[in-house]
Amino acid sequence: MEYFPGITPIQYEGPDSKNPLAFKHYNPGEVVMGKSMAEHLRFSVCYWHTFKSLGADPFGPGTMIREYNNSSDPMKIAEMTMDAAFEFFTKLGAPFWCFHDRDIAPEADNLLETNKRLDHIVQIAKKKQDETGIKLLWGTTNMFSHRRFLAGASTNPSPAVYAYAASQVKKAMEVTHELGGAGYVFWGGREGYDTLLNTDMKRELDHLGAFMNMAVDYKKKIGFDGQFYIEPKPKEPTKHQYDFDAGSCYAFLQKYGLADQFKLNIEANHATLAGHTFHHELAYCAANGILGSVDANRGDLLLGWDTDQFPTDLYDTSLAMCIILQNGGFTTGGLNFDAKVRRQSIDPDDLFHAHIGGMDAFARGLKIAARILEEKPFGGFIQKRYAGWDEQLGADIENGKVGFEELEAYTLKNGEPAVQSGRQEMLENILNEYI
Ligand code: XLS
Ligand code: CA
Ligand code: CA
């Protein structure tokens, strides 16, 4: 059965093409700074939004009618959806996919039966991966939809829920390993709180730290060598999520002895919800050696929630690609479209338009970033701004050779320091010439 009839594999037709179902900028084999665009960008399609969310919002049910969702048997739906998904990945030309355990197979009445269902679907996925060459960027668990997780999973007040969550992560890591996943994501779900009147924050954080350490132990035990990631988000569903932003995740990882076991998966929309730019969160990770992977989407400046729109802003994609390239590019990570089409975009074709737009936006961002890094239009502005740190005084401070007394003696001898312009407007104008 063909679920996307009338769609042929999406081709690169170049910037002059007027075909909406063609790439204008993403040319997978084209080499940019020594690597193909496909290798740089490592695009991934997410299972949950693209195949499982059908347009429901708090005010109404789904609006999208899909052939692969048309059965009274939930396992039949799971099988048909996996078929549709691989047809989609193949036609789009996306090299990777991502999923939550419960996206691909529905829960049964108990954990044992649920795991059997998951195993059945994983075997289908494995066969399809082998046939198509499409790979798993990362797997994860859904520990936020079922009512047992209403007060969180590994930060739940009940140790029995904690145990259930551990069993679920154990299984999801096993199937991710089985599918050759390049990574495994921990997004906080309901790990956070709505009011401190009912929450023991210290205990919950300690439990979360212990849980992550158990996950690391089990990873070693089964020989899974994929990368672990934490995905920050400041709020939603809880009022305050523990993994608020990159900074709070890094503090958590260091406190619980996990800093060398995890990197971060930075989502653009979560960065802006935290009051940061996407650029900031990526730069913070790069500065601390924890830049792992990216959930490529965007929010809406006028809305305060996680709209998960497809990325189209060239400033965002260009600045992101500058950081990613300067950081040496992705290794295990990639650009996962954790994004959903709007509720009114009901046709299966809209899924293609959305992904083509996101892929072209990042392809342009890559080319812009590569030109900026090669042509250096800012003339080493940042290096020059900090040049004093390469001279005697700066070097003595950086090398710990001086303290307050020596710095006071320097100041008394040299008097008022010189100041320089930050030239923000000039730099913004130069950037605009490249967008
Ligand atoms: C939700 C998150 C989620 C993670 C995976 O806001 O973005 O989808 O990426 O659990
Ligand atoms: Ca995400
Ligand atoms: Ca999101």
Residue-wise pLDDT for 381-419, tens only, equals: 999 999 999 999 999 999 999 999 999 999 999 999 999
Atom 4 of ligand 1, residue of closest alpha carbon: 187
Q: Which of 101, 103, 308, 338 is catalytic?
A: 103
Residue 414 phi/psi, 5-degree rounding, is -95, -15
Beta-bridge partners for 265: 293
* Number of Cβ within a 10 Å radius of residue 425: 9
Model-level pTM?
A: 0.97
Ligand 3 centroid distance, CA of 151 (Å): 20
What tens digit of pLDDT does each residue of 293-350 get?
Answer: 999 999 999 999 999 999 999 999 999 999 999 999 999 999 999 999 999 999 999 9
Which residues line ligand 1 at a C-beta cut-off of 6 Å? 100, 140, 185, 187, 231, 233, 267, 295, 306, 338
Quote the tokens at residue 234: 């400041």
Q: Which of 100, 207, 276, 280 is catalytic?
A: 100
What tens digit of pLDDT does each residue of 62-111 get?
Answer: 999 999 999 999 999 999 999 999 999 999 999 999 999 999 999 999 99
Q: 141 and 101 in contact (C-beta within 8 Å)? A: yes
- Domains of the chain in sequence order: 11-375 (3.20.20.150), 391-434 (no CATH)
| ∠ CA 146-147-151, rounded to 5° | 110
Q: Which of 102, 228, 231 to mutate to test the pocket of ligand 1 (most atoms within 8 A of CB)?
A: 231
Work out which ligand 1 atom sits closest to the CA atom of 306. 6
Q: What string of DSSP letters covers 295-334?
A: E--B--TT--S---BPP--HHHHHHHHHHHHHTT--SS--
Contacts by residues 18-26 (CB-CB < 8 Å, ≥ 24 positions apart)? 20/353, 20/356, 21/349, 21/352, 21/353, 21/356, 22/356, 23/356, 23/359, 23/360, 23/363, 24/360, 25/360, 25/363, 25/364, 25/367, 26/356, 26/359, 26/360, 26/362, 26/363
* Number of Cβ within a 10 Å radius of residue 30: 15
If DSSP codes are grouped into helix, strand and coil, which group holds residue 294? strand
Active site residue 280: no
